[in-house]
Amino acid sequence: MRMITTFWNMAAGLAILTLAGFLASCSVTTSPDDSTLAPKAGTNLIFEEYTLDLKDRSRDTTKRVFERMDTILAAGLTFAGETNVLMAFRQNADTLRLKHKTNGDLLVYQPEVSVGRFDVPGRWVRLAYGLKIPDTVTVIDVAHVVGGANDSLRITIAQTFEGPTTVLVEGKPINVMQLRVIRQQHIASGTSSVRNVEDAIYWYAPSLGYIIQENIVFTQQIGTNTPSSTGTGRTLIRIEG
């Protein structure tokens, strides 16, 4: 049974959330040449990656801090029906594709993935930094009966715009938009079940076309066992190239 965690599919920080059957309120329509906003190819974005103190979501200063690098591979690409797509490689993660919309929203491409018996096709997912409208949708709610066993998968996602703020990078404030995204996933197979809840805050810098700070608390409950939680964050500390 494969779990769905966060947007970018990495061991810490953002990973891939597979969003199937995304409802109309979060659907994406193609509009050519929406924006050319993006760092240039060859730019390296250096992040500090750290553990969160679950009491208040601050940095846990007793734990080790790592440096991770995102490298911009290309900008201005055409991909999956969108133009001016940014492609980046995240250290210890997968290739990332982003698209900045003229209304301020950010599109993130979710590759195809299998979750248990369920295949979820790749698609663009909208993060509503521009729309700024709270929204909760049922992403997928399906069940299969195979050999007498009932397998089911349900995912919901809620987005809340929390306003503008700044993040310091190399001593200089960068304007960002703060979005809270809570994803809940429940997958069951026969009498076994796993419930995942991811409570994430993403700080998006329109001037860079990139998310420059993340704060994620992931909670998992297996069956009726006591839930367990972990927290990770990362913050941009410098730009090279």
Residue 8 lies in a domain: no
Residue 10 lies in a domain: no
- Asked if residue 124 lies in contact with residue 131, where contact means CB atoms within 8 angstroms, the answer is no
Total residue count of the chain as it appears in this document: 241
pLDDT of residue 136: 87
pLDDT of residue 32: 35
- Asked if residue 234 lies in contact with residue 47, where contact means CB atoms within 8 angstroms, the answer is yes
pLDDT of residue 121: 77
DSSP string, 142-177: EEEEETTEEEEEEEEEEEEEEEEEEEEETTEEEEEE
pLDDT of residue 45: 95
Residue 13 lies in a domain: no
- Asked if residue 177 lies in contact with residue 161, where contact means CB atoms within 8 angstroms, the answer is yes
- Asked if residue 116 lies in contact with residue 137, where contact means CB atoms within 8 angstroms, the answer is no
Paired residues of 236 in beta bridges = 47
Residue 18 lies in a domain: no
Task: In the chain, count H helices and then E strands.
Answer: 0, 15
Residue 214 lies in a domain: yes
Residue 2 lies in a domain: no
Q: How many angstroms separate the CA atoms of 79 and 62, rounded?
A: 42
Per DSSP, the three-state class of 25 is helix
Q: How many angstroms separate the CA atoms of 131 and 117, rounded?
A: 34
Within 8 A by CB and 6+ apart from 73, the residues are: 41, 87, 88, 89, 95
pLDDT of residue 98: 94
- Asked if residue 218 lies in contact with residue 5, where contact means CB atoms within 8 angstroms, the answer is yes
Residue 188 lies in a domain: yes
pLDDT of residue 123: 81
State which residues form the domain around 121.
Answer: 24-240
Q: In the chain, how many domains are there?
A: 1
Per run of 10 residues, the mean pLDDT along the chain (length 241 residues) is 38 35 32 51 95 96 96 95 94 87 90 79 86 85 82 90 95 95 91 94 92 96 96 95 81
pLDDT of residue 223: 95
Residue 91 lies in a domain: yes
Q: CA angle at residue 238 from 170 to 93, to 5 degrees?
A: 150
pLDDT of residue 186: 92
Q: How many angstroms separate the CA atoms of 158 and 160, rounded?
A: 7
Locate 112 and state its tokens. 């195809």
pLDDT of residue 38: 63
